[in-house]
Structure 1
Amino acid sequence: MTFETPEHLIRRFKVLDAPEVDFFLPKNKNGPLGKSTLEQDNDEIKAKLPKLFTPLKIHKNLEINNRIGVSPMCTYSADNKGSKKGEATKFHEIHYGGFSSRGPGLIIVEAASVVPNGRTSPEDLGIWNDDQALLLKPIVDFAHSQGVKIGIQIAHAGRKSSGVAIPEHLQKGISSALEGWSDKKGPDGVFAPSPVAYDENNSYVEPQEIPTSEIKDYVKAFGDAAKRAYDISGFDFVEIHGAHGYLISTFLSSTSNKRSDEYGGSFENRIRFLLEIIDEVKSENHPTFVRLSADELAPNDPESWKIEDSIKLSDHLVNHGVEVLDLSSGGINSKAERRKTNQGFQTQYAKAIKDHVGDKLLIATVGKILEAKFANDVLENDDADIILAGKPFLKNPGLVSSWADELGVRIQLARQYEWPFHPPPWNLD
């Protein structure tokens, strides 16, 4: 007697291979991860869903399955030797793969420098050459195999470059003896809009001022990095890092920008560098994100960048076609106030800008958002459109599932993980 599996069971149980990756990976047959299992096309059912678990259309080519994203967080694990400087390793594939397999709406990969001497530390990622971009492709491919959208933050650390990796618990510039470049002068050294050091304790070197004639080279470097991110790595979007005292941030702030040319002085001049980068990076086929320190948290410095400046800038971002403004705070210098750590301490900035721009610009907020109800309330109140989380994802890569449970929503899980939580029926007829 021979045993033959009925045709309808063959169709039901045949394991399909995910086409996005070059190894065997079972395809998630029930759709992208992190999406509510309720019928999304039914408006009545969709209206009952917590907003946190509703899809969001960011761009004509990009829709995310829920409103939860992984915030960019440096891991200081890139290769730092020879021709491989700035290259991603297997660690990055494992690290981001762990997030992808749990179904966030989007992931923003940590800051990747657009030039070698723009890294925060020698162990930062780079995307100034094609080899680096190619090594990021497996991260993107795996995310796509799970139905997750993924972008990368492109950056230049400016006067905060060539620092020791933060896990060493020191904020300090380092020399070539430790693979840094703080001791170098000329084109391979540390650059900023003005020769104003990050702090007054000689922890960071006084940067060289970028000549006006070379600013377009920096703008082009951002554009080239974005092109690699799209054409080689396959990312869905890029985020321009304009926060935390990095290069763009120091152009924006009068605290660090003492220039007298067309890139310094007036508000319009100080935002020029960022707007030129946006225009260079902007792609018809991909959305553009910008991360900004909404307020530099330096109330005793009348020249510091404040929330009122960010509100004013938001109109320019709309006019230059930015889709998402990702709001953080602080980082301009060592005298800035320590950040307050109550839950959602930065949502006040998101609300202020969202109230101003309305639907013309999507707003992402981040900063100690720990509970699903709190996150959902921020969205339901129209204070923001996207919730980003950093440390909560490091502590709990299954944060999306935890928040879904908290709000009573069932979401699509990876088939490798779903069956213990939702066992199939024993009757297979």
Structure 2
Amino acid sequence: MTAPKIPFYIPQTTPPPGSAVKVDSSTPTLFRPLTIRDVTFQNRVFMAPLCMFSAASSGPAVGSLTPYHVMHLGHPALKGTSLVFIEATGVTPNGRISPNDSGLWDDAQIEGVRAVADAIHAVGGKLGIQLAHAGRKASVLSPYLGKPGGMDVATEEDFGWPNNVHGASAIPWSSKGYAVPKEMTKQDIKDTVQAFADAAKRAVAAGVDVIEIHGAHGYLLSSFNSPLSNQRTDDYGGSFENRIRFPIEVIQAVRAAIPEGMPLFYRVTSTEWMEDTEEAKQLGSWDVPQSIEFAKLMAPLGVDLIDVSSGGNHEKQQLKIHSDYQVSIARKVRKALKEIGSPLLVGAVGMITEAEQAKDIVEGSTSKLENGMTEEEEAQKAKDLLEGSEISADAILIGRQLMREPEWVLRVAFRLGVDVQWPVQFGRGRFLQGSKI
């Protein structure tokens, strides 16, 4: 049987690749289906947006996805990743990071997204798109065109727009390699809110299943959150309520522009890792407690999942990367949301590479009772497991590991002893339990 509603023949894999063949009490949560609004994902592994810098920088196809993106995004879906995200996609021409970024500010760009959607749906996966505006980090050269180890401003000769970079305030991200942004007017803000909504409508028309708003890493929405990059004195600066006003307006506009049954995600910089710096002591910074308060507002606005990332808003960030550096924050956010009964789901991202690690993130650690623990400690551990407070997230987002291993989902299933569906065309290469890989 061919896959439904696809404009070409392909054998249908039922259930989709990456689905547990049999779901019972022994099935890890990682391989249990997750339904968000009208969309069901066959497992809890999502592919995070990854910038490819592979779209045309000029001409009639500027910003459009190409067959390269079909290959790049299609392979993880074929190998069982339940949701695959198109990279940060500019909602305006000057909202791209580089001239080679993808965009969705024009109807002409719909067809490229539709081609990717058809490929993903053909193999049973779901497609998401991250709508973005780079703000003060825009108009830089692609990494493979700039200087090693740094970023370079993309000039007009490079098809950049260094004189049309927008930000919350006229504060560059860095004095080296970045343009000085123009402080956005209220009309600029209004126009950008509409641009997010219009891009969301185009994504729906292209067949996308999930929308994510990019509110992280120092890009436009994230830069409004922080007093280090937002020093406005109007309704969009100063207090916490004012600094989140623009992101909230974008959330409301996008939610109103998409079907009720379509999931809406929001990626947040949970902390900019500046708390102990002199800059933050003088001006304040964006941190985990503020992210938690922001997250508590999201479900009533129509957001379904908060994608918990961090950093990227200041060149002096004190970021120490380790295997739990963002997952532990996701756990704090999720616990705070559960305490108020919020239905908002939480996604964890960053340094997730191993099977047991992924399993523990969505169901709590399996190694609970350690030598030397008192009876009280054992009782508390059991209580935490029962109440789910040791669960870090409801889903995980994998980026670089899927670049290294597009078949990561299948390998994780094998290592956890879960029998999962493979694409029918790859049956002869299937991992067999009891073998070594």
Structure 2, unaligned runs of 5 or more:
365-390, 433-437
Runs of 4+ deviating beyond 4 Å: none
Distance in 2 (alpha carbons) for counterparts of 1:322 and 1:80? 32
Shift of residue 344 of structure 1?
A: 3.2
Identity of aligned residues (%): 38
Structure 1 residue 206 corresponds to structure 2 residue 180: yes
Per-residue deviation, residues 295-316 of structure 1 (Å, max 9, x unmatched)? 1011212322101110111111
The correspondence for 2:33, drawn from 19, 33, 55, is 55
Name the aligned partner's letter for residue 130 of structure 1: D
Name the aligned partner's letter for residue 395 of structure 2: I
With 201-210 and 88-97 compared, the bigger mean Cα shift is at 201-210
With 403-412 and 209-218 compared, the bigger mean Cα shift is at 209-218
> Does the 8 A contact of 1:212 with 1:261 survive in 2?
no
Map 1:158-173 onto structure 2 (within 5 A). 158-167=135-144, 168=146, 169=148, 170-173=150-153
Higher Cα radius of gyration = 1
Q: Match of 1:309?
A: 290
Name the aligned partner's letter for residue 342 of structure 1: H
Please report the TM-score for the alignment, with normalisation by the length of structure 2.
Answer: 0.87
Per-residue deviation, residues 257-298 of structure 1 (Å, max 9, x unmatched)? 111111111100110101111110013121110000101011
Distance in 1 (alpha carbons) for counterparts of 2:19 and 2:41? 9
Distance in 1 (alpha carbons) for counterparts of 2:407 and 2:241? 43
Q: Match of 2:300?
A: 319
Aligned to 2:127, the other structure's residue is in SS state strand
Shift of residue 417 of structure 1?
A: 0.7
Shift of residue 422 of structure 1?
A: 7.3
The correspondence for 1:33, drawn from 14, 17, 24, is 17
> Does the 8 A contact of 2:55 with 2:64 survive in 1?
yes
Aligned residues: 392
Shift of residue 228 of structure 1?
A: 0.5
Please report the TM-score for the alignment, with normalisation by the length of structure 1.
Answer: 0.89
The correspondence for 2:219, drawn from 228, 231, 246, is 246
Distance in 1 (alpha carbons) for counterparts of 2:88 and 2:238? 28
Structure 1, unaligned runs of 5 or more:
1-15, 424-429
Name the aligned partner's letter for residue 198 of structure 2: D
Name the aligned partner's letter for residue 56 of structure 1: L
Q: Match of 1:401?
A: 410
Name the aligned partner's letter for residue 356 of structure 1: A
Structure 1 residue 112 corresponds to structure 2 residue 92: no
Aligned to 2:297, the other structure's residue is in SS state helix
RMSD (Å), alpha carbons: 1.4
Structure 1 residue 197 corresponds to structure 2 residue 172: yes
Aligned to 1:206, the other structure's residue is in SS state coil
Map 1:10-409 onto structure 2 (within 5 A). 16-28=1-13, 30-38=14-22, 40=23, 45=24, 47-59=25-37, 61-167=38-144, 168=146, 169=148, 170-182=150-162, 184=163, 189-199=164-174, 201-231=175-205, 233-282=206-255, 283=258, 284-299=260-275, 300=277, 301-302=280-281, 303-337=284-318, 339-358=319-338, 360-381=343-364, 382-409=391-418
Aligned to 1:216, the other structure's residue is in SS state helix
Aligned to 2:330, the other structure's residue is in SS state helix
Per-residue deviation, residues 72-97 of structure 1 (Å, max 9, x unmatched)? 01000011112321011110011111
> Does the 8 A contact of 2:140 with 2:177 survive in 1?
no
Per-residue deviation, residues 239-259 of structure 1 (Å, max 9, x unmatched)? 000000000001111111111
Distance in 2 (alpha carbons) for counterparts of 1:333 and 1:174? 20
Q: Match of 1:416?
A: 425
Distance in 2 (alpha carbons) for counterparts of 1:17 and 1:51? 30
Distance in 2 (alpha carbons) for counterparts of 1:418 and 1:287? 32
Distance in 1 (alpha carbons) for counterparts of 2:140 and 2:227? 23
Name the aligned partner's letter for residue 323 of structure 2: Q
> Does the 8 A contact of 1:55 with 1:64 survive in 2?
yes
Shift of residue 17 of structure 1?
A: 2.4
Name the aligned partner's letter for residue 175 of structure 1: T
Name the aligned partner's letter for residue 217 of structure 1: D
Q: Match of 2:368?
A: none
Distance in 1 (alpha carbons) for counterparts of 2:324 and 2:416? 18
Distance in 2 (alpha carbons) for counterparts of 1:110 and 1:242? 14
Name the aligned partner's letter for residue 39 of structure 2: L
Aligned to 1:32, the other structure's residue is in SS state coil
